[in-house]
Structure 1
């Protein structure tokens, strides 16, 4: 075990390595985070490692969307069948959807701005943090991974990219909902009929209310795995740099301003 653990001796820590994953502070674009929250409430918070809030908003989105049949109404709207779209919507729950949706976007943007400020302060403080964690169930440690490998595994089955970089909580969550979305949408059944050339049958078996969750969910898992692999690699390099400087660099070593070291 690394000797450096979060014992509150320092005010701000850049990262924390646990058996459930590596949580770190790094600069993010607030507009990108807000965009993911707009694509699917909860995604922006999950990117910020605000897992409980993100999961709550994600499950709320599915629950309320199912209650008002919003996805089905969207499909009718895309086909120009406005009357059917209006008829299928459940107006009793409609007004519950809008405030939470807007809150998810606003809160993820606000949180990103705040975390960026904390990130800058943590960088200046440069406090040491644990680089590995060993428990009865899992082992997690900082190392370098290939972002393209994360991307590839996420493209095969959502959650595998997260497992590759040890984002265990997000991996378990996304794997469960991958199964749920595929099962209730009958997506694989539709793919089976497409391979047989029976497009009409594939269209008829596909449940669009459940299927429309899947595209944003699928691409989110790819983006999340890729970005976190890159940031974990950056964190590993910073930790290695600090370790080598602390253990092997002479305290009297100084670089004068403008001096070039060959």
Structure 2
């Protein structure tokens, strides 16, 4: 069997390159992952490449948040109108929202700790992984890319940074939901009216319960594209270093206490 594909010839792999993206294990700070889950349920799991769990929690957050009017209550709270915040909340939905919200934070933290341990074990095994994937629909390969460019495209439109580094699943998900948030928040209409100087009309057309989703969406897209570009670059350098060592380095080459010995 080919040892350069993830064919279960080893217990653990550091990475897997497919036409849909590059999935890899690397050390992550569990508190940062948990923070992203607190900012928006599902984001922490998407950072871990736990897509199905991340998608489920994300969709739950949007659906239940809207039904419970949580964003609307937050806006009234920011304005100091606590009585109105209490009035607008739908407690039937709120009581379902809280347990899942807490679960997302806890599970992303727990999963990060576990995946860090798996990464350390996979590093010790040092099993080779595929670095090139060719399919009927796409081509993906390890390469170095600029993290600043990934951030720049994510700031223009969330999801473009993920396309730049070939995280296809995350890119499609982020772009589709950005369109949903733009459409229901009427933010682009508000921007157009603001450019025309119609400030009151711009404010009145906005739907704040949908608008509050957008900052977290932008923040996640920027952070995810930057971190994964950096880690993909490290993975590329490691894979290239191992390839050159195995195929071009002399078997008698050694480094002892800073001195080369042949």
Once the 2 structures are TM-superposed, how far is the Cα of residue 124 of structure 1 from its aligned partner? 1.1
Once the 2 structures are TM-superposed, how far is the Cα of residue 259 of structure 1 from its aligned partner? 3.0
1:209 aligns with 2:209: yes
SS at match of 1:119: helix
Q: Distance in 2 between matches of 1:68 and 1:198?
A: 31
Q: Distance in 2 between matches of 1:137 and 1:8?
A: 25
Counterpart of 2:109 in structure 1 is 109
Map 1:77-226 → 2, pairs under 5 A: 77-226=77-226
Q: Distance in 2 between matches of 1:96 and 1:238?
A: 45
Q: Which is further off, 75-84 or 131-140?
A: 75-84
Once the 2 structures are TM-superposed, how far is the Cα of residue 72 of structure 1 from its aligned partner? 0.6
Counterpart of 1:260 in structure 2 is 259
Counterpart of 1:66 in structure 2 is 66
Deviations along 1:90-136, whole A, 9 cap, x unmatched? 11111101110011000000100111111111111110000010110
Q: Distance in 1 between matches of 2:208 and 2:79?
A: 13
Deviations along 1:16-69, whole A, 9 cap, x unmatched? 000000000000011100000000000000000001100100000001001101
TM-score between both structures, scaled by the size of structure 1 = 0.97
TM-score between both structures, scaled by the size of structure 2 = 0.97
Once the 2 structures are TM-superposed, how far is the Cα of residue 160 of structure 1 from its aligned partner? 0.2
Contact in 1 for aligned 2:254/2:260 (Cα 8 Å): no
Once the 2 structures are TM-superposed, how far is the Cα of residue 261 of structure 1 from its aligned partner? 4.1
Q: Distance in 2 between matches of 1:255 and 1:219?
A: 44
Q: Distance in 2 between matches of 1:254 and 1:261?
A: 6
Q: Distance in 1 between matches of 2:3 and 2:123?
A: 20
Q: Distance in 1 between matches of 2:259 and 2:22?
A: 36
| Runs of 4+ in structure 1 over 3 Å off | none
Paired residue total: 260
Counterpart of 1:42 in structure 2 is 42
SS at match of 1:162: helix
